[in-house]
A and B are shown apart, each in its own frame.
Chain A
Amino acid sequence: MSDLGPLGLSLRVASLATLLIVAAGLPVAWVLARVNFRGKALVAGILVLPLVLPPTVLGYYLLQVLGRRAPVGHWLEHTMGITIVFHWSGAVVASAVAAFPLFLLPARGAFESVDPALEDVARLLGRSEPSVFWAVTLPLAWRGLAAGVVLAFARSLGDFGATLMVAGNIPGLTQTAALAIYDAVQVNDAARAGWLTFWISLVSVLALVIVQRTLPARGLAR
């Protein structure tokens, strides 16, 4: 089933991107929900920019930051030994950035829906800050967080523009399913395009079902 190669790459890229998103997005969402600071609205706005920017513009910005001649890209390649551009790790970064707001928005809302009074009660009952987070905040916010995870995964699975700009379209190396479908259509390979489309659609619909089964019940957790 060599035809499924791009699909396997897509799943791997989307999984790693989702991990990145959750690792960065959990603390950011919590800070936006719980801490007030100057310029909060501006920061929150910048963080959801990927949602409204054209994917190619987003990719262009990423190249400016992560390219081999850009300071960050240079440091990553020569100090950390990580190549981003024209490498599948570039696809991970690009799709993660593109999908980040889709996790951040529901996650922030989920944290905001947990009444701080409940956290104060937990503190009065002797719990430390990490314990308050794990025993109260997280369980009460988890439905919104889970929905955010699924949405971000689905979005990064289908990323096209940003991935193309940063990682390129190299078959077997950076060609994800979305890119492979585009190629197949370009060369009139209807069977391959249909096959990949079927699988991507199936995974996406599954993700949507999970979100719908998770989100409406949120009211239960107050």
Chain B
Amino acid sequence: MSASGPHPDEVLDVRLVHPVHSGLTLEVVLRLGREIGVVFGPSGAGKTTLLRLIAGLATPDSGHVHLEGEALFDAARRIDRPLRRRRVGMIFQDDWLFPHLSVAANIRFGLKVWRRDQAEARLAEVATLCGVGALLDRRPMTLSGGERQRVGLARALAPRPRLLLCDEPVSALDLSNRHALLERLRAVQRAEAIPVLYVTHSTSEAIALGSRLFLLEHGKIVAEGAPLDVLSSAGRLATGSISFEGVRNVFAAVVESHAPEHGASRLRLDEGPELIIPFLDRPPGSRLLVAIRADEILLAQGPTAGLSARNQIPGLIERVAPHGHEAEVVVRTGGLAWIVSLVEPAVEQLELKPGAPVHLIIKARSCHVLGEGAVGS
């Protein structure tokens, strides 16, 4: 399913093949409208290379990059537009601000050919949009990490690029700055109505940001769609092709009700049971992803009284796969497959075999809502 159907209002149309190194060849077909597309995948999947190829910072082996119907690169037609004519904006993990220029001069840098009054108006506009109006006279050296990234964003947007590329721009920021910049980016995308392609290996960023997610693995886009759908796809999780730093159970869910007096909230998993989690300040009906580590789920042969764990979910064992001293047990509850990691003696003691009924025992605290902070650990 690497090829998507024609996108109704596609602006960016990429099809390229490029050998990155002997063990990795990018083979990507990607179409994007005026929305935020997230390229998500593990490190080494070729995400950054893909972005550099689209920007023109590297030259693809073959294929094409079309933007608003214009060929930026087209191997068959021997077109390779120089960087300065592409009108593609980019922000990076490092801010790459010009250290010898003030914030205002940095933002004005891409407006050299603009009429002076228009350039000043645009400077004021993007400064407000990116929240850097108070920083204009400062030097980059005197700015905090979050401020620098906002200036970098303003600078990239100033000349009205037709596409904005983001290469893990928040990975060097702390958590609160991270969320602030992601929010800022969403607001900017709405205001400017440009396609944004955002590269990350963080599930929380992918969910917080994207309206469309491209799952990149070993140089190929293996799935695309709404972030929640792609990331929660059970088959993919069971094969381990997405792993969230040790988290193997990730499910789409909707908030059903709250019990703040018990410090708890109740979720309904898609095609699955209810789940009690620590209180979550989101209105009922909100959709989200919830993650549970495979080694934080206990198994019991039947319903158990006198337990502190709030969730006891009945299911059937589908598969038991030994891995050395540990075993991976797949338990099915309705339409969902849960992965539970146990030590080998426990498997023997409980006589866990395919088809046997079990109860999943899960503490509320073991349920992590993605997009609310770091996952796992």
Which residues of chain A have a CB within 8 Å of any CB of chain B? 115, 117-118, 120-128, 131, 135-136, 139-140, 220-222
A139 to B109, CA, bound (A): 14
- Once the chains bind, are A123 and B96 in contact (CB under 8 Å)? no
| Total B residues in contact with A, Cβ cutoff 8 Å | 25
Complex interface residues of chain B between 249 and 275 (CB less than 8 A to chain A): none
Q: Is B329 an interface residue (CB 8 A)?
A: no
- Once the chains bind, are B84 and A127 in contact (CB under 8 Å)? yes
Contact digits for B134-147, partner A, Cβ 8 Å, 1 yes 0 no: 00000001000000
A115 to B141, CA, bound (A): 16
- Contacts known (A122-B109, A135-B109); A128 close to B98, Cβ less than 8 A: no
- Once the chains bind, are A120 and B57 in contact (CB under 8 Å)? yes
A191 to B113, CA, bound (A): 62
- Once the chains bind, are A117 and B98 in contact (CB under 8 Å)? no
- Contacts known (A117-B94, A135-B109); A125 close to B100, Cβ less than 8 A: no
- Once the chains bind, are B159 and A126 in contact (CB under 8 Å)? yes
- CB-nearest residue of chain B to A142: B100
Q: Interface on chain A toward B: helix, strand, loop, or mixed SS?
A: helix
- Once the chains bind, are B110 and A222 in contact (CB under 8 Å)? no
Which residues of chain B have a CB within 8 Å of any CB of chain A? 55, 57, 82-90, 92, 94, 96, 98-100, 109-110, 112-113, 141, 155-156, 159
Residues of B within 8 A of A117 (CB): 92, 94, 96
- Once the chains bind, are A124 and B112 in contact (CB under 8 Å)? no
* Nearest CB of A to B266, in Å: 49
A221 to B140, CA, bound (A): 11
* Nearest CB of B to A137, in Å: 11
- CB-nearest residue of chain B to A126: B84
A220 to B140, CA, bound (A): 11
Which of A120, A122, A140 is B100 in contact with, Cβ under 8 Å?
A: A140
- Once the chains bind, are A136 and B98 in contact (CB under 8 Å)? yes
Residues of B within 8 A of A222 (CB): 99
Residues of A within 8 A of B88 (CB): 124
A150 to B83, CA, bound (A): 36
Give 22 A-B contacts (CB < 8 Å), ordered by A residue: A118-B98, A120-B83, A121-B90, A121-B96, A121-B98, A124-B86, A124-B88, A124-B89, A124-B90, A124-B156, A125-B155, A125-B156, A125-B159, A126-B84, A126-B110, A127-B84, A127-B109, A127-B110, A128-B84, A135-B109, A221-B99, A222-B99
- Tally the A-B contacts, defined by beta carbons under 8 Å: 54
- CB-nearest residue of chain A to B99: A222
- CB-nearest residue of chain B to A139: B100
The listed residue with most A CB atoms (<10 A of its CB), out of B88, B98, B155, is B98
Residues of A within 8 A of B109 (CB): 122, 125, 127, 135
Which of A124, A126, A135, A136 is B55 in contact with, Cβ under 8 Å?
A: A124
- CB-nearest residue of chain B to A115: B96
Known: A115-B96, A136-B98. 9 other contacts (CB 8 A): A120-B83, A121-B90, A122-B109, A126-B87, A127-B110, A128-B84, A140-B100, A220-B99, A221-B99
Residues of B within 8 A of A128 (CB): 84
Residues of B within 8 A of A220 (CB): 99, 141
A136 to B55, CA, bound (A): 20
- Once the chains bind, are B112 and A126 in contact (CB under 8 Å)? yes
The listed residue with most B CB atoms (<10 A of its CB), out of A117, A121, A127, is A121
A201 to B83, CA, bound (A): 51
A117 to B152, CA, bound (A): 13
- Once the chains bind, are A125 and B96 in contact (CB under 8 Å)? no
Residues of B within 8 A of A118 (CB): 96, 98
A136 to B100, CA, bound (A): 8
- Once the chains bind, are A221 and B100 in contact (CB under 8 Å)? yes
A213 to B98, CA, bound (A): 23
Smallest CB-CB A-B distances: 8 pairs: A125-B110, A123-B83, A222-B99, A126-B84, A139-B100, A121-B96, A123-B84, A125-B109
* Nearest CB of B to A126, in Å: 5
Residues of A within 8 A of B84 (CB): 123-128
Residues of B within 8 A of A126 (CB): 84-85, 87, 110, 112-113, 159
- CB-nearest residue of chain B to A120: B57
A118 to B152, CA, bound (A): 12
- Once the chains bind, are B99 and A140 in contact (CB under 8 Å)? yes
The listed residue with most A CB atoms (<10 A of its CB), out of B87, B94, B99, B155, is B99
- Once the chains bind, are A131 and B112 in contact (CB under 8 Å)? yes
A147 to B156, CA, bound (A): 34
* Nearest CB of A to B322, in Å: 48
Residues of A within 8 A of B100 (CB): 139-140, 221
A139 to B83, CA, bound (A): 21
Residues of B within 8 A of A124 (CB): 55, 83-84, 86, 88-90, 156
* Nearest CB of B to A94, in Å: 37
